[in-house]
Amino acid sequence: MPERLAETLVDLWTPLIILWITLPSCVYMAPMNQAHVLTTGSPLELSRQSEEMRILSRSKRGWVWNQMFVLEEFSGPEPILVGRLHTDLDPGSKKIKYILSGDGAGTIFQINDITGDIHAIKRLDREEKAEYTLTAQAVDWETNKPLEPPSEFIIKVQDINDNAPEFLNGPYHATVPEMSILGTSVTNVTATDADDPVYGNSAKLVYSILEGQPYFSIEPETAIIKTALPNMDREAKEEYLVVIQAKDMGGHSGGLSGTTTLTVTLTDVNDNPPKFAQSLYHFSVPEDVVLGTAIGRVKANDQDIGENAQSSYDIIDGDGTALFEITSDAQAQDGVIRLRKPLDFETKKSYTLKVEAANIHIDPRFSGRGPFKDTATVKIVVEDADEPPVFSSPTYLLEVHENAALNSVIGQVTARDPDITSSPIRFSIDRHTDLERQFNINADDGKITLATPLDRELSVWHNITIIATEIRNHSQISRVPVAIKVLDVNDNAPEFASEYEAFLCENGKPGQVIQTVSAMDKDDPKNGHFFLYSLLPEMVNNPNFTIKKNEDNSLSILAKHNGFNRQKQEVYLLPIVISDSGNPPLSSTSTLTIRVCGCSSDGVVQSCNVEAYVLPIGLSMGALIAILACIILLLVIVVLFVTLRRHKNEPLIIKDDEDVRENIIRYDDEGGGEEDTEAFDIATLQNPDGINGFLPRKDIKPDLQFMPRLQKRLPKGNTRE
């Protein structure tokens, strides 16, 4: 056993010793070719064994590398040596053949199957592919049987500085408020470099400004752009162009660079006050201009923009502050002067105003520069105009009693021409407001008189319109409303508020209230109605009823005794005198009808007529109606029977007082002898009373279908055709 263990150790360490001897030559070749670096490591343990490897009597050995390097963009007359494959197997008398497979094998990388040297036959680009994974295998030259299992290794492409920095999002735009302090951050821009950031300085960038100084600066490493001058004024220059450079290799000479542009715009701040374009404005306006009309416009200019230029306008002084107002026009940024109250040329011909424009949005940073406002003077001249007449009052209220006499003066309206050349005025009533022509007006002095009688109970108010017209210019007219109130006089006597009818129970008690009545008066006294009730003098000692005045201005009628009997007297009439409290007082007599009724024990009225009283107790109203219907039906039958009986017994001979001329019927057919005598009653011809006509037999109906024509109706007293 010790001998076999020693033999195994010899077999294991012998290749390592050989590799250590050959390693210096490999390391020496790497710097010369600048293409590869070989590294050593522990032998790789085989995880899988093929059937062919099982027949090998020797122990498996591992490869002596794990990665190689090759420089990108290398070009030369000969392929570049990347590295050499070498196994730790003892070659002995056998020859070893090396096989390469994987990424780029045969197309990019080529291997010498005898020596194991690997060459790059194409130009490589790290930015296109940074590393390649290949598989190496050693086989027997003659049998092609694997001597080692396949093993992967990596060839990494080493970076060179072949890519310039790029600003992918340029050109750039940024803003910064004007008047900013020194070092205010504007923005930051970044460039990208496709070179390897972890190998050398190929991707280490340094930023600088090529154009845009001395206004802006940039931090070399972070690319943060800041203001380099304080208090830059937008009103002086609003936009700046900055050219920025990014250079790799840490900014050293030989590095590659890229540039971009940045447009910096200064945003506005409210650092300028408004300023009126002129210090004095002149406007003229006719005195009859409509209220609310724009008189003129004033404008204060502001070098700022947007909301920083918005100003509010006010009238702060002058003798026309009550007549004029100024409003701000947000669109035009000016002030509009408008008329608030009517002008009168004859009273005042000019006005002076002092207007102010002040910024709405104040920036506290610049409030110390002074007031952000300005003032100007406005002179307004009033022009004369032909004005319509002016009434002494905008409305008139007149009062008249309803019993006023016709043509009496109710009131008066006055008007004047406000112009300097005053014109006489004529007055008239707009008849559309006085269709019934109840009022008249004096055209010269405006006195209103009564044309027809008035009745307050029909209409309390009358609203008319008075027209004033200039005599010199009929187009100048004015109108004024006149309200005429009709005052009440006591011309209506009081009366019952409604048609009252009282019911008195036969079993009522003395002092029982039969009915409560109230009165009404069409008049309208100032202190309200107060009525006095009394009985007629001859009814003061009425034995049956008495009256009682209530606090609510109503009257109660009371029974003096009990034992009323509707068989003795069914209805009582009680006249009541009602007087008002007018001056002079008026009165009227209203009669209350009191019916005596049969009532239940609890005072509910059941019947108020004598017939119902004598009927048997317990007979319902439905039974009474049925009996009445039967009686009416019997009467109808009797009348019909008598009528039919009378017609049946009526004689055939015409009486003297009957006029039978309308019953004559003419026949054109010839006589039939005996047949004719059978058809007509000969006795009728012998009757002296039948001279003026004949009465047709009632037992024979004439055959009208053979009548050729109708007999004309003769005048009265003539029987001829």
pLDDT, position 691: 40
Amino acid of residue 195: D
Residues 31, 11: Cα–Cα separation, whole Å: 33
Same domain, 135 and 16: yes
Domain limit, last residue, from 128, 158, 188: 158
Please report whether residue 341 resides in a domain: yes
Domain, as residue range, for 34:
2-158
- Cα 388 to its chain centre, rounded Å, is 44
Same domain, 148 and 25: yes
Give the chain's end-to-end CA distance (angstroms, integer): 186
Amino acid of residue 460: V
**Quick one: tokens of 684?**
């009728």
Mean pLDDT per block of 10 residues along the chain (721 residues) reads 37 34 32 30 30 36 62 75 74 72 85 84 80 86 82 82 86 94 93 81 89 93 93 92 92 87 93 91 93 94 88 93 92 92 90 94 76 92 89 94 92 90 92 93 95 89 95 92 90 83 85 86 75 82 85 86 86 87 82 88 76 48 79 90 75 47 46 46 46 42 39 37 34
- Cα 706 to its chain centre, rounded Å, is 90
Please report whether residue 400 resides in a domain: yes
Please report whether residue 391 resides in a domain: no
Amino acid of residue 697: R
Domain limit, last residue, from 158, 181, 215: 158
* Collapsed DSSP state (helix, strand, coil) of residue 35: coil
Helix (H) or strand (E) segment spanning residue 359: strand 350-359
707: CB partners within 8 A, 6+ apart: 665, 667, 668
Same domain, 610 and 627: no
Q: Which of 570, 546, 550, 572 is nearest to 559 (CA)?
A: 546
**CA dihedral over 545, 546, 552, 553, signed as positive or negative:** positive
What DSSP designation does 539 have? Answer: G
Please report whether residue 167 resides in a domain: no
Same domain, 465 and 445: yes
Same domain, 117 and 182: no
pLDDT, position 441: 95
Same domain, 542 and 678: no
Domain limit, last residue, from 487, 515, 544: 487
Q: Which of 563, 587, 561 is nearest to 575 (CA)?
A: 587
pLDDT, position 91: 57
103: CB partners within 8 A, 6+ apart: 132, 133, 134
pLDDT, position 37: 31
- Half-sphere exposure (Cβ direction) of 158: Cα atoms closer than 13 Å: 12
Amino acid of residue 581: S
- 0.85 cut: is pTM over it? no
Sheet holding 216-218, edge to edge: 185-188, 224-227, 216-218
Residues 404, 430: Cα–Cα separation, whole Å: 23
Residue found under tokens 């490589």: 124
Helices vs strands, H then E, count in the chain:
6, 40
66: CB partners within 8 A, 6+ apart: 39, 41, 153, 154
Identify each DSSP E strand in 413-535 by its residue range: 415-416, 425-429, 439-441, 447-450, 461-470, 477-487, 495-496, 501-505, 513-520, 532-535
Residues 489, 512: Cα–Cα separation, whole Å: 39
Q: Are 580 and 495 in contact (CB under 8 A)?
A: no
Please report whether residue 42 resides in a domain: yes
Residue positions counted in the chain: 721
Helix (H) or strand (E) segment spanning residue 540: none
The domain tally of the chain equals: 7
Please report whether residue 375 resides in a domain: yes
**Quick one: tokens of 671?**
């006589």
Same domain, 594 and 660: no
pLDDT, position 667: 44
Beta-strand pair 206-211/415-416: unpaired
Amino acid of residue 434: D
Same domain, 7 and 154: yes
Instruction: Return phi, psi of residue 695, to 5°.
Output: -105, 115
